[in-house]
Chain A
Amino acid sequence: MSAKLSHRYRTQYTYLMQTVVTILIAVFCLTPMFYILSTSLKPRGAEYMIPLELWPSKPTLQAYRAVLGIVEEAELASESKGSMVLPADQARIVKSLSFVTPLRNSLIVSSAVAAFSLLISSLSAYAIARLRFRYKIQSLIFLQLGAMIPIAVTIAPTFMLMRSLGLLRTLLAMIIPNIFYNVPMSTWLIACYFAELPFDLEDAAKVDGYKPIQIFWKVIIPLAAPGLFSAGVFAFLGSWGEFMLASAVSMGIPAVQTVPAAMLNFSVQFRYEWTWISAAIILSVALVAFMTLVFQRWVIRGLTAGAVKY
């Protein structure tokens, strides 16, 4: 009886400690985010007010409208008093700063990277998990080795390659390399899913009258959907945050900058406009945070699925 009690006491204690530590870590990580969020909701100039406001007394979406380029002239005129930028320049600047283009570019790049790396890696994962060929393990290891080279090392050759292909200053220069950055990891994740499917299913489909490529689409892919999904989310998030290559190949042209590259430009250009910078940060994180929250169930399943195979 007493052993049981002390056991329960100990598990409760462990639980309590876990919760406390989790909260501490969360507070540590989220405090800057909170302050950025709070700043992004302040009226322009209010971020310099002393005493510092932890949360704006009159929250406004003004900064978001500015960053998204939907500020009205009247609003600008009334707000411009005490600002460090001359009213005459306001309209021109707001037009040019629109954060819509980088957000759109990032969405295009990340979706394309996710889609194409899924296509390629589901096929290569199928080969690794299912087909018999020589040097299978070696090719798998080779593929994973490729993933271990830091982007910093490959960036110069990649840049030169993109230049020779005439792809500099285009989104393709970000899409193509990012696909290949993601293929090793996606292949691994998806192969672990494929490996768990019983061979009999494929044999049954063959006897039922389907050719291997049809079986791949009608049986294998639907059954590995959770694995494909998490691989897709990884590829999406990975290319969303990719900065080095994006800033190199976009060469400072706003029309082809993705969010991380545009962010740098933006914070240099408007280094005193903290409400705008904060709003831009929140916007670029919000989409990713949303995706992660919604899909984390799949992501976690995808990561643990391979834990015991191979």
Chain B
Amino acid sequence: MAGVRVEGLLKKFGNVTALDHVSLEFEDGQLTVLVGPSGCGKTTLLRIIAGLEDATGGSVFIGHEAVNQVPPWERNIAMVFQSYALYPHMTVFDNIAFPLRARKISKAEVKQRVEQTAALLGLSELLQRKPRQLSGGQMQRVALGRAIVRKPEVFLMDEPLSNLDAKLRVEMRAELKRLQKDLGVTTIYVTHDQAEAMTMADKLVVMRGGVIQQMGEPEEVYSHPRNTFVGGFIGSPAMNFIRCSVDCAEAELHAPDFQCKAPSRFVEALRRRGKDSVILGVRPEDLKVLASFEEGAVPATVYISEPMGKEMLLTVEVGGALAKAITPTNVRPRIGETVWLTFDEACVHLFDSETDEALPTE
């Protein structure tokens, strides 16, 4: 087993820059999740690590070995493709056995390992079927089986759960995480589903436009997003942003409709910065909705309310912009009604209005 390191990776497709000087370290035995919007270069990064694509610049290390010149069939990496990529002319058994057969392993051992893997994934009954006779979830598990039947140095998983229904996806992500912990193989997992990213990751890497935005433990990324993009991308529903002007003298923030005290941990930074506007970020789960006025509460008009079972997702209009809040179901305001919002200043995020970077705290 081995960690993976990429240094200054650059990848251009014609004049599209898919990866822009990406440097990352994937620690040995950890599950690192790559997350980002469509087209941000996640698949490209995986394909370069697997050796399926040549980098325009930079290097890839597996363990301590630079592998730029090593072809994919010699890298000892297992990859789960977004499209499953099962061999249609082979049975489930042969699909799972295929990587073993490339490695001069005895027939008896191939059989034993395939059957063991199939049992682990609940595929024992399906070994003689062809891929076209399987459901999406079953094909998914065959694709996983083909990866885990070997003992590779690294797992690369490209949105392996994206084609499953919601229930199966939640089940499988727990299974997958468990499996990864049992096997202890360094894993790089790509998704654009931020919930999957949060729940599975030991380390979370957020990408945008071929550039790493932030890397860290999921809780860290969630509670201290480095910029508005990360703040908006991690967490669901997305963080609310309101542009405010800054009153340094009073340490106050002025939004179009309301004003509030600047949290004390930001005061020093606001003062040093000396700019007169800032972006205020509050997560929907940190917004509290009140039916009547309280000291410091901000008035808002209910735009739409969406019950989600345990909670209610409320969209409200504040100062000409829409904001989302999560409330307990016992608060049931009607459309057009006025409600009052408050938030704890400990939960507030401030970002520079020009660079979108988070302001430093004390």
Number of residues of chain B lying within 8 A (CB) of chain A: 22
Chain B CB within 8 A of A211 CB: yes
Question: Which chain A residues lie closer than 8 Å to B51 at the CB level?
Answer: 206
Question: Which chain B residues lie closer than 8 Å to A214 at the CB level?
Answer: 102
Chain A CB within 8 A of B162 CB: no
Residues of B56-112 at the interface with A, using a CB-CB cut-off of 8 Å, are 71-73, 75, 77-79, 81, 83, 85, 87-89, 98-99, 102-103
Q: Are B102 and A210 in contact (CB under 8 A)?
A: yes
Q: Assuming A201-B87, A219-B87, A223-B89, is B72 touching A206 (CB within 8 A)?
A: yes
Chain A CB within 8 A of B146 CB: yes
Q: Are B85 and A222 in contact (CB under 8 A)?
A: no
CA distance A203 to B78 in the complex (A): 11
Chain A CB within 8 A of B52 CB: yes
List 30 contacting pairs A-B, 8 Å CB cutoff, sorted by A: A198-B85, A201-B85, A201-B87, A203-B72, A203-B81, A204-B85, A204-B87, A204-B146, A205-B87, A205-B98, A206-B51, A206-B52, A206-B71, A206-B73, A207-B50, A207-B72, A207-B78, A207-B79, A208-B78, A208-B98, A208-B99, A209-B99, A209-B102, A209-B103, A210-B73, A210-B102, A214-B102, A219-B87, A222-B89, A223-B87
CA distance A214 to B73 in the complex (A): 11
CA distance A205 to B52 in the complex (A): 11
Question: Which chain B residues lie closer than 8 Å to A223 at the CB level?
Answer: 87-89
**B146–chain A nearest beta-carbon distance, Å:** 7
CA distance A204 to B71 in the complex (A): 13
Q: Are B52 and A207 in contact (CB under 8 A)?
A: yes
**B81–chain A nearest beta-carbon distance, Å:** 5
Question: Which chain A residues lie closer than 8 Å to B52 at the CB level?
Answer: 203, 206-207
The interface centre, meaning the residue of A206, A210, A214, A222 with most chain B CB atoms within 10 A of its CB, is: A206
Residues of A165-189 at the interface with B, using a CB-CB cut-off of 8 Å, are none
Chain B CB within 8 A of A75 CB: no
Chain B CB within 8 A of A89 CB: no
CA distance A49 to B85 in the complex (A): 69
CA distance A209 to B222 in the complex (A): 39
Question: Which chain A residues lie closer than 8 Å to B50 at the CB level?
Answer: 203, 207
Question: Which chain A residues lie closer than 8 Å to B98 at the CB level?
Answer: 205, 208
CA distance A204 to B298 in the complex (A): 56
Question: Which chain A residues lie closer than 8 Å to B102 at the CB level?
Answer: 208-210, 214
Question: Which chain A residues lie closer than 8 Å to B81 at the CB level?
Answer: 200, 203-204
CA distance A200 to B88 in the complex (A): 12
Binding site for A on B (CB under 8 A): 47, 50-52, 71-73, 75, 77-79, 81, 83, 85, 87-89, 98-99, 102-103, 146
Q: Are B83 and A198 in contact (CB under 8 A)?
A: yes
The interface centre, meaning the residue of A198, A201, A205, A207 with most chain B CB atoms within 10 A of its CB, is: A207
A273-309 CB mask vs B (1 if < 8 Å, else 0) is 0000000000000000000000000000000000000
Residues of A204-230 at the interface with B, using a CB-CB cut-off of 8 Å, are 204-211, 214, 219, 222-223
CB nearest to B98 among chain A residues: A208
CA distance A88 to B220 in the complex (A): 108
CA distance A214 to B194 in the complex (A): 39
CA distance A200 to B98 in the complex (A): 15
CA distance A219 to B87 in the complex (A): 7
Question: Which chain A residues lie closer than 8 Å to B89 at the CB level?
Answer: 222-223
The 8 closest A-B pairs by CB, nearest first: A209-B102, A200-B85, A208-B99, A204-B85, A206-B72, A207-B79, A222-B89, A209-B73
**B18–chain A nearest beta-carbon distance, Å:** 16
CB nearest to B103 among chain A residues: A209
CB nearest to B78 among chain A residues: A207
CB nearest to A209 among chain B residues: B102
Question: Which chain A residues lie closer than 8 Å to B77 at the CB level?
Answer: 207
CA distance A210 to B74 in the complex (A): 9
A224-255 CB mask vs B (1 if < 8 Å, else 0) is 00000000000000000000000000000000
Question: Which chain A residues lie closer than 8 Å to B87 at the CB level?
Answer: 201, 204-205, 219, 223
- B73, B75, B99: the one contacting A211 at CB < 8 Å is B73
**B269–chain A nearest beta-carbon distance, Å:** 47
CB nearest to A208 among chain B residues: B99
CA distance A202 to B88 in the complex (A): 12
CB nearest to A223 among chain B residues: B89
**A205–chain B nearest beta-carbon distance, Å:** 7
Q: Are A204 and B88 in contact (CB under 8 A)?
A: no
Q: Are B85 and A203 in contact (CB under 8 A)?
A: yes
CB nearest to A221 among chain B residues: B89
CA distance A36 to B273 in the complex (A): 102
**A18–chain B nearest beta-carbon distance, Å:** 34
Question: Which chain B residues lie closer than 8 Å to A211 at the CB level?
Answer: 71, 73
**B102–chain A nearest beta-carbon distance, Å:** 3
Further contacts, 16 of them, CB under 8 A, given A204-B79, A204-B85:
A200-B81, A203-B79, A203-B81, A203-B85, A204-B81, A206-B51, A206-B71, A207-B73, A207-B75, A207-B78, A207-B79, A208-B99, A208-B102, A209-B73, A209-B102, A214-B102
CB nearest to A197 among chain B residues: B88
**A200–chain B nearest beta-carbon distance, Å:** 4
CA distance A209 to B146 in the complex (A): 12
Question: Which chain A residues lie closer than 8 Å to B88 at the CB level?
Answer: 223
**A105–chain B nearest beta-carbon distance, Å:** 36
Question: Which chain A residues lie closer than 8 Å to B73 at the CB level?
Answer: 206-211
Residues of A259-274 at the interface with B, using a CB-CB cut-off of 8 Å, are none
The interface centre, meaning the residue of B75, B78, B85, B146 with most chain A CB atoms within 10 A of its CB, is: B85
CB nearest to A222 among chain B residues: B89
